[in-house]
Homo-oligomer: A and B are copies of this chain.
Amino acid sequence: MAHASVADIFAGKYTVGEHVTVKGWVRTRRDSKAGLSFVALHDGSCFDAIQVIALNTLENYADITRLTTSCSIIAKGKLQASEGQGQALEIDADSLEIVGWVESPDTYPMAPKRHSMEYLREHAHLRPRTNVMGAVTRVRNCLSQAIHRFYHERGYCWISTPILTASDTEGAGEMFRVSTLDMLNVPTTEQGAVDYSQDFFGKETFLTVSGQLNVETYCTAMSKVYTFGPTFRAENSNTSRHLAEFWMIEPEVAFADLADVAQLAEDMLKYVFKAVLTERADDMAFFAERIKPDAVTRLEQVISQDFVRMNYTDAIEILQNCGKKFEFPVSWGVDLSSEHERYLAEEHVGAPIIMQNYPKDIKAFYMRINDDGKTVAAMDILAPGIGEIIGGSQREERLDVFDQRLAEMGLNKEDYSWYRDLRRYGTVPHSGFGLGFERLVAYVTGMQNVRDVIPFPRTPGNASY
């Protein structure tokens, strides 16, 4: 492994004149009539490839002139200043070993031409070799590292909430069932129901849709915690914003109210955007050039702006009086739809909005009732260009109020016994939010479809690879 990464070379960790070894794959090859070839080698460590100059005096030069995209090679030679366009450094090769050929280059699925995103998805095992997916992968990694760093620096503990759950508290409507029962010989009870007591976990078991309720148990002991893990929705949604399997970040903070976690969310977004602009300038320049012209500038703008706090009730008034015709009419009590959110964030305010205090009837049972008795301490963060990116709330920590809410919603107290225990034993005000990681990556990169910012997207009808 004592070879140089392309990123380290371009970062100046080697000096001109030094001998280096690089290992990677051919991006392009160009032959010159002067008796030499230019081979662009990439290794995934950064966006750019490094140019390797192979003279026809190399013993395997005939083979070198047969190199095609994605052949794997090892080049050794002297680092020198480049006279051509592009990067300032290139390698004058002493040797260029061909490690692996590409079988029938004419039919190689990732041949160097423009492929549609749909086509790339159908070759999900080879698409990381493309410029666009390489850039997405590095930005995704940068964002995940920055998120862990952000919370770690602030004293949060990462908590791995369970993926499998037999808990009845989440509402089973859109959940995947997990089982080892023989589907052709399902055991049943005397009443004719499935006898899950014979299943692996002895109860009907699902994939989690959120770690929030679980992580509250750690919040009310460790104070500051967050999850970062996969979550699942068995929704039959074929949109550019939905995945059946996606990653979520869910911080939960004891002794914090809605304003506290709104600030936390704003700080976090700005922190990770700065990290991407600093650490992945190369990939972001590519996204700005090829995918979304304002990819860089809109992040810079969000970083420099104060997010605007707005009450739901005020937002309804703004929408009603703005003179704009919406597909879905607006009145107090309705959930805001995408067109409303985008109007407010993009046209009315021109900055991210932290929308707060929604009617309780359109929000979840665990959200804290405000003093008006009509609204809950919930927030959504709406970003220009994408809409809702974060949803959070203060949690109802008062046992009597919580029990009343459960009763109003027709939910069964016994089903929430462990969640209620957190309110029975040393209850504290606490708040948190959820951030869909793929939506964040899509927002940052400008990629249109969340299926193209996760390695192997799972959607209705698709769990290949």
Q: How far is the CA of A426 from the CA of B126 in the complex (A)?
A: 11
Q: Is A37's beta carbon under 8 Å from chain B?
A: no
Contact residues of A between 270 and 307, Cβ < 8 Å to B: none
Q: In the assembled complex, which residues on chain B have CB atoms less than 8 Å from the CB atom of A244? A: 164, 200-201
Q: Which residues of B contact A56 (CB under 8 A)?
A: none
A81 within 8 A of B: no
Tally of chain A residues near chain B (CB < 8 A): 112
Q: How far is the CA of A232 from the CA of B232 in the complex (A)?
A: 15
Q: In this assembly, does A24 line the interface, its C-beta being within 8 Å of a C-beta of chain B? A: yes
A422's partner among B125, B145, B202, B254 (CB-CB below 8 A) is B125
**In the complex, which residues of chain B have a beta carbon less than 8 angstroms from the beta carbon of A222?**
43-45, 128, 134, 137-138
Q: Does A194 contact B (CB under 8 A)?
A: yes
| B183 touching A181, Cβ below 8 Å | yes
A218 lies within 8 A of B455 (CB): yes
A118-145 vs B: 1/0 string, CB under 8 Å? 0000001110110001100110110011
**A5 close to chain B: CB less than 8 A:** yes
* A112 is an interface residue with CB less than 8 A from chain B: no
Question: For residues 217 through 233 of chain A, which have their beta carbon under 8 Å from a beta carbon of chain B?
Answer: 217-218, 220-224, 229-230, 232
* Contact residue among B1, B141, B166 (Cβ-Cβ distance under 8 Å from A157): B141
Which residues does chain B contribute within 8 Å of A102, judged by CB atoms? 424-426
Whether a CB of chain B sits under 8 angstroms from the CB of A71 is yes
Q: Which of B99, B184, B205, B455 contacts A427 (CB 8 A)?
A: B99
Whether A223 contacts B108 by the Cβ 8 Å rule is no
- Given A1-B256, A426-B25, A426-B71, also A145-B164 (CB < 8 A): no
User: Is residue A343 contacting chain B, with contact meaning CB distance below 8 A?
Assistant: no
Integer count of this chain's copies in the complex: 2
| Distance A3 CA – B7 CA, assembled complex (angstroms) | 42
Task: Identify the interface centre among A5, A24, A101, A128: most chain B CB within 10 Å of its CB.
Answer: A128
Query: With an 8 A cutoff between CB atoms, is A155 at the interface?
Result: yes
Nearest B residue to A399 via CB reads B103
CB–CB A201/B70 < 8 A: no
Give the chain B neighbours of A253 by CB distance below 8 A. 1
Of A25, A217, A229, A256, most buried by chain B (CB within 10 Å of CB) is: A217
A392 to chain B, nearest CB (A): 14
Name the CB-closest residue of B to A176: B178
Closest to A230 in B: B163
Report yes or no: A201 in contact with B44, Cβ–Cβ below 8 A.
no
**Contact partner of A426 among B70, B141, B218, B234, CB < 8 A?**
B70
